[in-house]
Each structure stands twice: as structure tokens, then as C-alpha cells.
Amino acid sequence: MSAIRLIRVLFYGAATQRGATKTQVRRVWSGCSSRSSLCGQEGAQRGLSLTAAASQFELSLTKPPVSGVVSSKLWNDMLEVKFGDGTEGRLPFVWLRDNCQCSQCFSVEGLGRKFLIDDLDVEVQPTKVEESMQGLTVKWSDGHQSEYSTNWLQNRAFTPSSRALHREKYALRKEQWGAEHRIKDFDYNTLMSNERVLLDWLLTMERKGSAMVRNVPQKDVAGQELIEHIAFVKQCHYGPHSPVINRPNSNNVAFTNAKLGLHNDLPAYEHMPGIIFIQCLAQHPGAGGESIVTDGLFAAEELRRKRPEDFKILSSTDMYFWDKGHANYSWEMPEFYKIAKFPVIKVNGNNEVVQIAVSNTTRDSHMDLPPQEVKKYYAAYKRFYIILSANAMTFKMEQGDMMTLDNVRCLHGRESYDADSQRHIETSYLDWDEARCRRRRLQEKFGCFI
Ligand code: OGA
Ligand code: ZN
Ligand code: ZN
């Protein structure tokens, strides 16, 4: 059995052939969709398994255009189409009508739907379907006529592979790591001047959540300038960058010489900063000031495996985080009073971990819990913290180093240091939406969507 047939049987089953109506076939022209800027990159799926699709995507640079839609059958409120390369897809009528690509329904300039849901008949049916080497033409029960190009359709054909490919475009798969992890090095000037290296950093950050930038210029805005080279700084009430020094009248425990346990920065923000840039301008020469870093995703998954009840408590109980104070510097907000509320382990609709929020300094003393549940909560939280610590690595940043961390996944901390030390760290933030956006743009530019 060929791979394509095997996939077809696995995902579509034998019922595929039953009750199908063959529609008329009219092959006109062979070629790739001219509208799509992703033309060369689309159509990667060839009936692959989920994992194979992802690795195939990794290797994909340019792909031959798909040669038309060769047949279609009506099947359970769906159009079952077969493409020229042998792959198939099932396209629900309502989805096809909603996504009509004509200029009346879709803005080519704005790349957005003009067709209103008010005008969508969920029970819409095709009255005539024509296949061609260009794609599909469908006449609808509401009187409208739609045309779809082959590549456009194949990329959205609801197959496991097309769905996996788009999932990767949305966000790369994260690779978990433990204490033995070696953080990948990048050179600051190369990152600023070489877009392929910048893409490598973006991919590394998305997959591993951690990287180290070396040879960073000795100025407090070096992190900010790198962020501005990528997109723009995620501001917070501490401004575009924060001197992490032992400040007099410090407005945050981080800006003292105290030890900081493993934490994520700024969980008092409902939308926590995505990537933190921690630049070392001066390190404490003696013992003290060492960094500690751990992969919160690794720890959360270990907790889920070994202590499912703890995972449930931490992922379903909202905690308050707060940050209140006044400016130490002119660029900070004169007064701030933030409160956010979410679980320490945030999961999405697929129960995947999407955010870790741990901060001993800003975890609020207010708890929105009945008192009898508090001790159980602490026990779960403490066991999670023990896993985080057990898989952490310790090292010392030197002058010119800048650690970059996925702030909603990896946790960092630092050892205490002498109160009169000249140690100087600077922090700045970049949001994940901007980082992923730059990654997609570079992948398009280099023709290597992953
Ligand atoms: C911080 C922080 C790290 C350090 O400011 O939030 O974690 O090494 N600083 O001082
Ligand atoms: Zn239309
Ligand atoms: Zn921090």
C-alpha cells in the first residue's frame, strides 16, 4: 500500500468512497496560484503523517506547483476533492462559502474577509462544481459563485498534514530541556547584521526558550537596540529598560542585592512580556550574582506525569500577582499599581502548557480561596518549585553577556551579592507576537518555512 493510500485509509477510512457523487471535470490550465505570495512554499503536504509533515516542512525550500483539482465528490456537507498530485482533502461547504476568494468577499489588498457572517447560510449547498487545473469553481445555493486556486485549497484542506504545517507556522514546537542543557551562543554584532543568524536566534528562542548573546556593547540600551532591530520594545511601568542594581529606595526586590528565587518577570501584567533580555554590564567579582535558569515547561510536564493532582491544582487555581510603587527614574511610571490574576500553570484548549507564572516577590498575599484549600495549594506549589530547582542550571554571566529567555516558559533567578557591589544588569522585553512575526517574515524571505 502506498504511503498516500495508507494515510487516506487511516484518516478518511473506507467510508470515503460511499455515497459520493462524481461531479463534472473540466481541466483548463496547469500552474500555480498567482495570487499567493507563499506559492513556492505552499502545497508541501503529500499525505504525510503529523510528524513526517513537520520534518518535511523543515526541509522544504521550493516545491513544485500542485497540478490542479482532478475530481470532487459531494459527501456529508463536504466536498471531497482530489488534487493532481494524488492528495485529497475534505472541504466543508459552509467553510468554502465563508472563505470565498472573490473580490466581493475578500480583500486582496487587506488580506481579510469582507463577507459578513450575517450573510452566511450555515446550510449552504453547492449547485454546481467545476474542477480545473487552476482549482475549483463552485456555484452556491445562495446564488453566489466562488473560485479557489489549487494551492490555496491544498494548504487548507483539513488534512492532518495541512493542519500540522499551519500549526508550525503559528508557533514552533517547543523542545524541553533539563539541567544538562547547553545554551546556544550568538554574537551581538552578527545578530544585528546577519538576518540568517537572527532567524536562527528566533528559531532557537521559540524551540528552546533560551539563548546567550556574547560581545554585547557596553551600553545600557544594547538590549533595547537589539529588540528595536527585531520589532519594538514591550514597555512596562519600569520603562523600555531597567537598571538592575542595588538601588537606594528600590521600587522592586529585583533592584536590590537580595537573592531572587526562580521566577518569571512581571506576572503582575495580565499579558506578561514574552522574551526577557538580561544584559550584564558589570558582574560582581567575588562569590554572588550567579544566574540560575530552568525550563518551566519541562518541570510542568514532569509535574503532570508524576503529580497529576498538583498539576490540576496549579493549572486551575487563579493566583493574584501585584506590583505597586513609584518611579526610581524619570523614564518609569511615576506611580503604578498592577494586579493580575491567572493560574501559575496556564494551559490552552488542548491542555498544552502555554505560560508559567512564578514569582515569590510579586505573588500576592491575597488569595481568592476558601481557607481550607490554602495548605493544599502551597503543597502543590512547593512540589512544583522543587522540580523547577532540581532541573536548573547555575552559571555566572560576565560583562558583555546577554541572556535571552522565553519569559512565559523559562524561569531565572540570581544569587545575592555584596550590597556595595558595582554589579549592573539591564533588562528589556520583546513580545512573542513580534518575535514570531519576524520569524515568519524571515522564513518567507529565505523561502524556508518550518
Ligand atoms: C530581574 C532579575 C537577574 C539578575 O531583575 O528580574 O531577575 O541577574 N535579574 O540580577
Ligand atoms: Zn465571493
Ligand atoms: Zn527577573
Q: Are residues 7 and 103 in the same domain?
A: no
Last residue of a domain, one of 136, 169, 202: 169
284 lines ligand 1 (CB under 6 A): no
**DSSP state letters, 261-321:** EEE-S-TTSSS--SEEEEEEEE--SSS---EEEEEHHHHHHHHHHH-HHHHHHHHHSEEEE
262 lines ligand 1 (CB under 6 A): no
For the segment 423-446, the average pLDDT, to the nearest whole number, is 98
Q: How far is the CA of 405 from the centre of ligand 3 (A)?
A: 10
Q: Are residues 221 and 285 in the same domain?
A: yes
DSSP state of 239: B
185-187/210-214 β-pairing: parallel
pLDDT in tens, 64-103: 555 799 999 999 999 999 999 999 999 999 999 999 999 9
Last residue of a domain, one of 11, 28, 61: 61
Q: How far is the CA of 255 from the centre of ligand 1 (A)?
A: 8
Which atom of ligand 1 lies at the shortest distance from residue 244's CA? 5
d(CA 338, CA 316): 22
Q: Is residue 311 part of a domain?
A: yes
- The C-alpha cell at 18 is 460511499
- The residue whose C-alpha atom lies closest to atom 8 belonging to ligand 1 is 414
Residues 6+ apart with CB under 8 A from 447: 40, 41, 61, 62
User: Is there a contact between 384 and 299 (Cβ–Cβ < 8 Å)?
Assistant: yes
Given CA atoms 440, 442, 444, 448 in this order, what sign does their dihedral have? negative
Q: How far is the CA of 424 from the centre of ligand 1 (A)?
A: 10
428 lines ligand 1 (CB under 6 A): no
pLDDT in tens, 197-244: 999 999 999 999 999 999 999 999 999 999 999 999 999 999 999 999
292 lines ligand 1 (CB under 6 A): no
Given CA atoms 61, 211, 272, 262 in this order, what sign does their dihedral have? positive
Per-residue confidence (pLDDT) for residue 65, from 0 to 100: 57
Q: Is residue 27 part of a domain?
A: yes
Most ligand 1 atoms within 8 A of CB, residue of 251, 260, 402 to mutate: 260
Domains in the chain: how many in total? 3
CA angle 425, 298, 340 (to 5 degrees): 60
**Residues of the chain with pLDDT > 90: what percent?**
84
Cα Rg of the chain, angstroms: 26
Q: How far is the CA of 140 from the centre of ligand 2 (A)?
A: 10
- Tally: H helices and E strands in the chain: 12, 23
Most ligand 1 atoms within 8 A of CB, residue of 241, 242, 244 to mutate: 244
Q: How far is the CA of 144 from the centre of ligand 2 (A)?
A: 7
pLDDT averaged over every residue in the chain = 88
pLDDT in tens, 154-169: 999 999 999 999 999 9
Q: Are residues 165 and 197 in the same domain?
A: no
280 lines ligand 1 (CB under 6 A): no
Q: Are residues 270 and 411 in the same domain?
A: yes
For the segment 412-416, the average pLDDT, to the nearest whole number, is 98
Query: Per DSSP, what are the bridge partners of residue 89?
Result: 81
Give the CATH number, domain containing residue 424: 3.60.130.10
pLDDT in tens, 338-366: 999 999 999 999 999 999 999 999 999 99
Q: How far is the CA of 414 from the centre of ligand 1 (A)?
A: 6
427 lines ligand 1 (CB under 6 A): yes
**DSSP state letters, 345-399:** EEE-TTS-EEEE---TTTB-S---S-GGGHHHHHHHHHHHHHHHHHT-EEE---T
d(CA 78, CA 92): 4
Per-residue confidence (pLDDT) for residue 35, from 0 to 100: 26
- The residue whose C-alpha atom lies closest to atom 4 belonging to ligand 1 is 414
For residue 19, the enclosing domain spans 3-61
d(CA 389, CA 300): 12
Q: Are residues 85 and 51 in the same domain?
A: no
- The residue whose C-alpha atom lies closest to atom 6 belonging to ligand 1 is 254
pLDDT in tens, 8-54: 323 332 223 223 333 332 322 222 222 222 222 333 332 333 334 43
d(CA 254, CA 245): 8
323 lines ligand 1 (CB under 6 A): no
Per-residue confidence (pLDDT) for residue 449, from 0 to 100: 76
Most ligand 1 atoms within 8 A of CB, residue of 404, 414, 423, 429 to mutate: 414
Per-residue confidence (pLDDT) for residue 361, from 0 to 100: 97
Q: How far is the CA of 146 from the centre of ligand 2 (A)?
A: 5
Give the CATH number, domain containing residue 153: 3.30.2020.30
pTM over the 0.75 mark: yes
d(CA 174, CA 180): 17
State which amino acid sits at residue 202.
L
> Could you tell me which residue, 448 or 247, shows the higher pLDDT?
247
Q: How far is the CA of 264 from the centre of ligand 3 (A)?
A: 6
For the segment 148-152, the average pLDDT, to the nearest whole number, is 96
d(CA 384, CA 381): 5
Per-residue confidence (pLDDT) for residue 3, from 0 to 100: 36
* Residues making up the chain, counted from first to last: 450
Q: Which of 112, 80, 118, 109 is nearest to 96 (CA)?
A: 80
- The residue whose C-alpha atom lies closest to atom 5 belonging to ligand 1 is 254
Residues 6+ apart with CB under 8 A from 295: 176, 177, 178, 181, 209, 210, 391, 409, 410
423 lines ligand 1 (CB under 6 A): no
Per-residue confidence (pLDDT) for residue 66, from 0 to 100: 59
81 lines ligand 1 (CB under 6 A): no
Per-residue confidence (pLDDT) for residue 243, from 0 to 100: 98
Q: Are residues 191 and 331 in the same domain?
A: yes
Would you give the distance in Å from CA 96 to the centre of its chain?
27
Would you give the distance in Å from CA 348 to the centre of its chain?
12
Q: Which of 167, 216, 226 is nearest to 192 (CA)?
A: 226
Last residue of a domain, one of 121, 143, 169: 169
- The residue whose C-alpha atom lies closest to atom 3 belonging to ligand 1 is 414
Q: Residue 373: is its pLDDT beyond 50?
A: yes
User: Is there a contact between 95 and 101 (Cβ–Cβ < 8 Å)?
Assistant: no
d(CA 224, CA 378): 37
Q: Are residues 131 and 34 in the same domain?
A: no
Q: Is residue 174 part of a domain?
A: no
pLDDT in tens, 99-138: 999 999 999 999 999 999 999 999 999 999 999 999 999 9
Q: How far is the CA of 187 from the centre of ligand 3 (A)?
A: 23
pLDDT in tens, 136-148: 999 999 999 999 9
Q: Is residue 29 part of a domain?
A: yes
Sheet containing 275-282: order of strands: 185-187, 210-214, 402-406, 275-282, 424-430, 242-244
Per-residue confidence (pLDDT) for residue 23, from 0 to 100: 33
Q: Is residue 180 part of a domain?
A: no
